[in-house]
Amino acid sequence: MPLLAKLFPSRSSLANLEKHDSESNKSPIPAQPVATEEQEQLISATLSRFAQVPVSAIFVSEPGWNPRGLSDEQAALILKAHGPNTPVAESSLSALRMLWGAIINPFNILLTILAIISAATEQIPTFVVMMAMVFASTGLRYWQELKSMIQAVNLIKSVTTNTRVLRYRSSGSEELEIDQRNVVPGDVIAVTSGDVFPGDCVLITAEAITITQASLTGEMMPVEKTVRLAATSPGETFDLLHNVNVCLAGTSVVTGNGHALVVSTGKDTYMASIARELSKRRPENATQIGIRKVSYVLMTFMGVMAPIVFIVQGAVIGITPEMLPMIVSSNLALSAVRVARKKVIVKRFDAIQTLGAVRILCSDKTGTLTADLVRISLSTTGTGDLSQLPIELAYINSSLQTGSRSPIDHAIVDSVNQSEQDIFTDIPRDGWVKQGEVPFDSSRRLLSVLVSRPGGDGSEGLLITKGAVEEVLDACVSVYNHRPSPSSDTSEPLGLDMSPSATLILTADERRKILDTAQRLNEEGLRLVAVACREQLIKPFMTISCSDESELAFIGFIGLLDPLKPDATQAIKDLAALNVQVRILTGDAPAVAAKVARDLGLIPSRQHSLTAENEKDVEASASSKGEEGLILTGVQLAALADDQDAYNDAIDRCIIFAKLSPYQKLEVVKALRAGDGGRAVAFLGDGVNDALAIRGADVGISVDSGTDIAKEAADVILLEKSLAVVVDGVIEGRLTLLNTLKYIKMATSSNFGNVFSVLVASAWLPYQPMLPLQLLVQNLLYDFSQASIPWDNVDPEYLVAPKTWGAKSIIRFMVCLGPFSSPFDIITFSINWFVYDIRTLDNPLVPLAQTHWFLEGSLTQLFIIHFLRTGKVPFIQSRASVPVVLTTFGIAGIAIAIPYMPKVNTALQLTPPEPIYYSYLLAMVVGYALVVHVAKTIYQLAFKEWL
């Protein structure tokens, strides 16, 4: 508390504070929701009021707030006014809403309408079957979604977190731990390494504080924060995400400690503004749009054909795809089970199918493409030549410093400890003894350690300093010569000779060369730490201070980066093979994102650029000339807002979108979805800054280690943060969609053919070619045979391109392939008419005629599945899965057996056919297969598609 006492004037008593209670109960932060475009501006205005003035002025403008903390009474009153500081992503599981969503499905609605028509016309068996399919489909969808949602809710279930706050009491200021949910605006909190800010805060004291705000900005490296002691200049603008003293809710302390004033909590935080946007109704995704269009097609088909068939036949059986909702639901359920084995939770039932339609995958960089870890990439001299000396000296500095180790310190120590070649081959690692230290702070941006050299008498010391490039250069007067002269003393530890002959004066020209090297390495995506040192005589009981950080010799740089994940490059290649483009949307710096993109092959490497220019390869140089043409920053994007054509062109052209705000990420996703006539876009991210884009995409993907708000917005949650899992999801989605389309195309074409056959029969035959009950059983046998379609194989060539629901494709398939079954139905009618002489209604052989069509229709439909499921030659070039083979042949056996089964044949009014009929039947099945295969070949040549 001494630091607080120095910074702020004391208050005489608790009573002196209580006179302001009425004022403190009024929140300076408006609580009502605001429009999306105003949210960020309002939060910025609120925070800037406290962040752009000196710390001491904050408590003058808000007299009810106290640098020593609120009183218990004040805190209770403010808590009552503002409500608990609850996580914005926390929400209850609505089982009823989920059930309603499973019921209100276009295919369910279609089948329910047809079931009601059947009931109204006293076709009760048909009504029962159709409603059974609706209930089965709804139940399967509801159970799968409920199970997945329970898993997701368990993942985002909040864990009670305590926060240290100051409370002003009669005995003075006390520090105590309270539930984070009880933190209120005006609270002063104490923070240290690892603490998460419970609300939007402004620092009022800080000792070498760095925080990580990757969840908001995407920046991997910790950001330095400090206290504002003077007001901002009149022209200075306030940047909500990039500032010196504001710490937003959800960010956490990496190093240092201090105190912060809580300005906003709960629904008034920046995180909550994003949550309000997420609460809006979600736009339809590609799968939902496709299903809606296909439903309209089927409804139109039923609306036209059902009355005609009903008039001539007295029922609508045979033209309705009763199993459609069930097939769709079972396909989706099976895909959810398959991906669950690969550690994926599917929150929304159709998300995997939508993933199969994705043409563009937008991904955050940190932790998805990269390992989300700081690693040493290189150690160089000031001119960029490789040298081990900078990393050797940095290791001594980092391993012996006693303050909070930053990620950079950990990276340096780990790099040396894990190195395959021992850097310290001749020197014991415990030979360096620390004699003094100047800890890091955010104003100096330096950390220095004084060590005694191994093997000496302890009086010969070495001051090793590392830190920000310009700050280290400012403390240097010379540059170490890494090319030793013949007179250099190589017996020195590390081969370090600090004699005047081994160093060069740091001239303006030398400084410029060093800064040019730093700029070049920065442009390659590396973050740099500079290293310098000098000899210093060690005296007993001596101490060192900031003033000793002078007259140093510049040694070189250490380059750090977040390395690519081991599977990232292969995953990008796999996605490219699946015709899925990858775009990087990040809040990180353009240079860092470009480095990642080059390493992944998303943009041309610099070496390729030079080669292209040297060879005067016009096309290659146009693409690389251009690395800048493939990168767009948030500022550049905002500047294009008034020119829609230029904006859309930039969105389509660029691969990397850097320094984006959360709202800009959402706008990029929307623009990508709208481009090229409409595209399915997925977004993979884990931070608060990704949540809006996750929800705005056709399919949003997050990870179990992501922020609660990102997991709440996502359709799919990965339990393993890997792009390889996304590749599996894309393939699984395409398998699911293609198998569903198989059923729809086969069912609609078959039903379309049935309509023609029924019309011909009604115009020619004096009797019903098949009774409604017989037609229902035949239809159910066909439908049950297709229940195995979700387990079917898909030819590899159908998986290489995104696929979505296409109403035109289904109509074309139905119209072109459907009528080919009718000629063989007519042949059956002709056999009954001419061979068996069944020509009148009272002919006792009418049941035999109906049996003939029952068998012909059943077997041709069943065996033709193998021809329609692939564009290749079945059984030879493409084989169905074992479940499909067993099901189709098994159901065919049942269809043949039904006329011979006692009681069953009586109930269905079927009679065993003569053996000679099976020769006609075999000829018709083979003939139908050959005709369909020829038609299939012509169809593919004409329309360049099959499924």
| Active site residue ranges | 364
For strands 188-192 and 223-224, give the pairing.
unpaired
Sheet with 581-585, strands from edge to edge, namely: 344-346, 716-718, 699-703, 680-684, 358-363, 581-585, 656-658, 631-633
* Spatial distance between the Cα atoms of 228 and 55, rounded to a whole number of angstroms: 6
DSSP code at position 181: G
End-to-end CA distance of the chain: 73
For strands 200-212 and 252-264, give the pairing.
antiparallel
174 strand-pairing partners: 167
* Spatial distance between the Cα atoms of 689 and 635, rounded to a whole number of angstroms: 17
Which token pair is 791? 């387990």
User: Are 227 and 245 contacting, i.e. CB atoms less than 8 angstroms apart?
Assistant: yes
User: Are 772 and 842 contacting, i.e. CB atoms less than 8 angstroms apart?
Assistant: no
CA 377 to chain centroid, in Å, comes to 28
For strands 172-179 and 162-169, give the pairing.
antiparallel
Amino acid identity, position 666: L
255 strand-pairing partners: 210
Q: How many residues are there in the chain?
A: 947
Distances (CA, A) of 886 to 27, 758, 862: 71, 30, 11
* Spatial distance between the Cα atoms of 701 and 345, rounded to a whole number of angstroms: 10
Which token pair is 43? 């939060």
* Spatial distance between the Cα atoms of 669 and 649, rounded to a whole number of angstroms: 14
Mention every residue, 6+ apart, whose C-beta is less than 8 A from residue 859: 892, 895, 896, 921, 925
Q: Is 243 left (phi over 0), alpha (psi -120 to 50) or beta?
A: beta
* Spatial distance between the Cα atoms of 731 and 342, rounded to a whole number of angstroms: 13
Amino acid identity, position 416: V
Q: Is 186 left (phi over 0), alpha (psi -120 to 50) or beta?
A: left
874 strand-pairing partners: 878
User: Are 532 and 552 contacting, i.e. CB atoms less than 8 angstroms apart?
Assistant: yes
Task: Transcribe 3-69 into DSSP letters.
Answer: HHHHHS---S-HHHHHTTHHHHTS-SS--S---HHHHHHHHHHHHHHHHSS-HHHHHHHSTT--TT-
User: Are 489 and 570 contacting, i.e. CB atoms less than 8 angstroms apart?
Assistant: no
Amino acid identity, position 62: E
* Spatial distance between the Cα atoms of 417 and 411, rounded to a whole number of angstroms: 10
User: Are 672 and 648 contacting, i.e. CB atoms less than 8 angstroms apart?
Assistant: no
**Pick from 411, 310, 24, 421: which is nearest to 187 by CA?**
24
Q: How large is the C-alpha radius of gyration of the chain?
A: 37
Distances (CA, A) of 103 to 98, 134, 137, 608: 9, 8, 9, 55
| Residue 264 host element (H or E) | strand 252-264
434 strand-pairing partners: 451
For strands 631-633 and 460-467, give the pairing.
unpaired
Mention every residue, 6+ apart, whose C-beta is less than 8 A from residue 283: 696
